């Protein structure tokens, strides 16, 4: 989470939560088809992807099926952090539910995420050295789009 020492992780469970750095899950970001914005976010060690449970609100990990509730967008915020969006709504950590939920986008730090690569924080002997994949890296097409057309307006609702 942006500006904190908390990360997204599941500790082997279905529902991702806020965890410390050593318990963070590692993600691979893959573009959906030919889309410039839609991506899937795979928790590599679990072989499951981000999924909005029942296409409702709560984020879970689920095997890939490719429906809309597994398609997300990453948008660069003016702060330098990222928003993880699904169907025009932003992912936000809900402390009462102890889960990430899909909520209306607003200017709130609970909806902002840092993206880090493991090389910055782990040496070659770490648990992620065999993956050869980023912990959480932005997809190149989104970066290109942002560079060409300017930064994402966090107050504009998409979809």
With 50 as the cut, is the pLDDT of residue 69 above it? yes
Q: How far apart are CA 25 and CA 12, in angstroms?
A: 9
With 90 as the cut, is the pLDDT of residue 52 above it? yes
Q: Is residue 64 part of a domain?
A: yes
Share of the chain above pLDDT 70, in %: 70
Q: Is residue 28 part of a domain?
A: yes
Q: Is residue 65 part of a domain?
A: yes
Q: Is residue 30 part of a domain?
A: yes
Q: Is residue 145 part of a domain?
A: yes
With 80 as the cut, is the pLDDT of residue 129 above it? no
Q: Is residue 113 part of a domain?
A: yes
pTM over 0.75: no
Q: Is residue 112 part of a domain?
A: yes
Q: How confident is the model at residue 148 (pLDDT cuts 50, 70, 90)?
A: very low
53 exposure class (CB count in 10 Å sphere: 0-12, 13-18, 19+): middle
What are the backbone angles phi and psi of residue 87, rounded to the nearest 5°?
Answer: 50, 45
What's the CATH code of the domain at 30? 2.80.10.50
Q: How far apart are CA 61 and CA 13, in angstroms?
A: 8
With 80 as the cut, is the pLDDT of residue 1 above it? no
Residue with tokens 């966090």: 154
Q: Compute and round to an integer the Cα radius of gyration of the chain.
A: 15
Range of the domain at 126: 7-149
107 exposure class (CB count in 10 Å sphere: 0-12, 13-18, 19+): exposed
**Arithmetic mean of pLDDT over the chain:** 76
Least confident range of 39-43, 66-70, 123-127: 123-127
Looking at the 3D structure of the chain, how many domains does it have?
A: 1
Could you say which DSSP state residue 77 is in? -
∠ CA 43-111-25 to the nearest 5 degrees? 20
């Amino acid at each position: 989470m942006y500006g904190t020492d908390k990360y997204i992780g599941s500790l082997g469970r279905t529902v991702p939560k806020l965890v410390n750095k050593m318990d963070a899950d590692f993600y691979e970001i893959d573009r959906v088809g030919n889309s410039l914005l839609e991506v899937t976010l795979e928790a590599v060690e679990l072989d499951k992807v981000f999924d909005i449970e029942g296409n409702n609100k709560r984020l879970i990990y689920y095997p890939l099926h490719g429906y809309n509730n597994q398609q997300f967008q990453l948008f660069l915020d003016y702060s330098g952090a990222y928003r993880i969006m699904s169907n025009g709504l932003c992912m936000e950590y809900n402390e009462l539910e102890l889960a990430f939920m899909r909520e209306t986008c607003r200017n709130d730090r609970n909806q902002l995420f840092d993206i880090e690569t493991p090389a910055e924080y782990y040496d070659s002997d770490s648990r992620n050295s065999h993956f050869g994949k980023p912990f959480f890296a932005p997809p190149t097409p989104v970066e290109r789009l942002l560079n060409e057309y300017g930064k994402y307006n966090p107050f504009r609702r998409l979809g």
